[in-house]
A = this chain, B = another copy of it.
Amino acid sequence: MAKGILENNENYQPGLSIDCVIFGFHDNQLKVLLIKTPYEDKWSLPGGFVPIDQDIDTAAVTVLNKRTGIEGIFLRQFATFGRVKRNDKHFENKILEHLKIPEKARKWFTQRFVTIGYYALVDFLKAIPQKENNKGSIEWIDHKEVPELILDHKEILDKALHTLRIELNLMPIGYNLLPEKFTMPELQKLYETILDKKLDRRNFLRKINNIGILNKLEEKKSNVAHKAPNLYVFDKDKYEEVLKNGLNQGW
Contact = CB atoms under 8 A, between A and B. Distances in A.
A81 B55 CA distance: 9
A92 B205 CA distance: 55
A145 interface: no
Secondary structure class of chain A's binding surface, majority of residues: mixed
> How many copies of this chain sit in the oligomeric assembly?
2
B250 A168 contact: yes
Given A82-B116, A246-B166, A191 B251 contact: yes
Interface residues of A, number: 37
A246 B57 CA distance: 28
Contact of A80 (B14, B56, B204, B251): B56
Contacts of A207: 251
A225 interface: no
A15 interface: yes
Contact of A79 (B15, B53, B77, B168): B77
A46 to B, nearest CB: 18
A84 interface: yes
A144 B84 CA distance: 38
Contacts of A128: none
Nearest to A14: B14
Given A169-B170, A191-B251, A114 B13 contact: yes
Contacts of A199: 251
Interface in A21-70: 50, 52-57, 59
A42 B129 CA distance: 48
A116 B114 CA distance: 11
B112 A250 contact: no
Interface of A: 13-16, 50, 52-57, 59, 77, 79-84, 111-112, 114, 116, 166, 168-170, 191, 195, 199, 203-204, 207, 246, 249-251
Given A14-B111, A55-B82, A59-B82, 5 more contacts: A15-B15, A55-B84, A80-B80, A80-B116, A169-B251
